[in-house]
Each structure stands twice: as C-alpha cells, then as structure tokens.
A and B are shown apart, each in its own frame.
Chain A
Amino acid sequence: MRGGQESIVIRTICRLAVPFVQIFGLYVIMHGHSSPGGGFQGGVILAASFMLLAIGDSLEEARRRFSTKAVTVLLSAGVLIYASIGVVCLVLGANFLDYGILPVPEPRNIGMLGIEIGVGATVMAATVSIFNDLITFE
C-alpha cells in the first residue's frame, strides 16, 4: 500500500474510473428527493471513489486530492448544514425541520435537497476518514 500500485494498467483504469464514479455519486445525491437514492447512498459512492484511488493508485494520491483536513471539515460541516436548516426553520416560526416556511421557491424540495447534501457530506467524509485511519494505523 505504501509504495503505491505497481501495475500501470490498474493505475490508469482506476484513475479513469474515479471521475465517473464521482459524477454518479453526485447524481444520486441530487436526485435523492425525486428518485431512489439520497445522501447516504450517494455519500458512500463518493467515498468509494476515493477508496478506489487509494487502493488502485496510492494513498498519497488520494490524500492529495482529498486532504485529511478537508475530510475532517466536511465531516462536521455535513451535520452542521443539516442542523442549521432545522434551526432556520425554527427561527422563521415553524417547527424544527419543517421546510415549508423557507423563503425560497419550492421550499420543501430545496429543504430536502439541503439535508441530503448535508447527509452526503457527512457520510462521505466519515467513510473516507475511517478508511484512512484504518489503513494507516500502525
């Protein structure tokens, strides 16, 4: 693992596959409220792309594209996004996480999309963080 993947075929194929996996993960998150999918599934797909990079290329390459600091920030930011959407609804005079009152067009869809993005960020960062911690543990 530490020296990186030796085979040029595996390295190239993994690097080529990563953008497609990530696009699919984003699609699953963004369409979570109107079709099967959502934050949990999409977040795991996004995390799988970074795992593929770490296994197929090298951990350093995966770390260069998605640094440990960014992982930790996203891990907290996801839950923060989710909870703050709920608090905004509360401040505007509705119940906690009652999206109907948000001052945007189609507030319920936008509110659900917001929390799906929050869940997706947390799940992706959590999975990548656990994976990185486990394979670097001495």
Chain B
Amino acid sequence: MKYLNLVVTGLTGLLLILGSLGMPETGDPQSPASLHVSPRYIEQGLEETIVPNMVTAVLADYRSFDTLGEATVIFTGALTVLLILRTGRKDEAEDS
C-alpha cells in the first residue's frame, strides 16, 4: 500500500513536470499573455486610468475586484486567528 502511494505521487509529479514543459518560457514575447493583455495595459493604461504608476493601474483599476478579494482574505485570516486564539479570559491573564 505504501509503495502504491509512492507510485501515484511519482506519476502525478511526472505529469505535472511534463505539463510544465509545454508552458511558454519566462519573458517570452510571443506567449499569449504578452501578445494580448500586456500591450493594452502598457499602451492604454495611462489614458484609461490616469495613473502614472502602471502597477497600481493594474492592481487597483483593471484588477480591483481581485484586490477586494485579497483584502477580504486578509480580513478573514485575522478574524480566524481572533476567533481561535482570543479566549475571553484575557482580562484575568493581564492581571496575573
């Protein structure tokens, strides 16, 4: 059974490595992402968003719904830590 797990894990890893070989190279100017989305942001970003900072233009304007999700993730993380760790006996602990 242990060896079966090893075989399954190895096969999955091999498949993932094989899949990654088909990806475009990092920074390849002919990759689909570089041909459609990036030129639009670089050429039209200043006109459309009126922000000189291209990173913010993408993060806070084109992809602002994504950033709202990021803020919600951080909010949920802090809320989870609060609910797990804050026991309600904090005042007693501070006195001792």
Question: Footprint of B on A, CB under 8 Å?
Answer: 32-36, 38-40, 60, 72, 75-76, 78-79, 82-83, 86, 96-97, 99, 106, 108-109, 112, 115-116, 118-119, 122-123, 125-127, 129-130, 133-134, 136-138
A130 touches B60 (CB 8 A): no
Q: At the interface, is chain A mostly helix, strand, loop or mixed?
A: helix
User: What residues on A are CB-neighbors of B9 within 8 Å?
Assistant: none
Contact with A along B64-95 (1 / 0, CB 8 A): 11011011101101110110011101100110
| Bound CA–CA A119/B66 (angstroms) | 12
A79 touches B51 (CB 8 A): no
A119 touches B85 (CB 8 A): no
A36-B53, A38-B56 known; A82 and B85 CB under 8 Å? no
User: What residues on A are CB-neighbors of B59 within 8 Å?
Assistant: 38
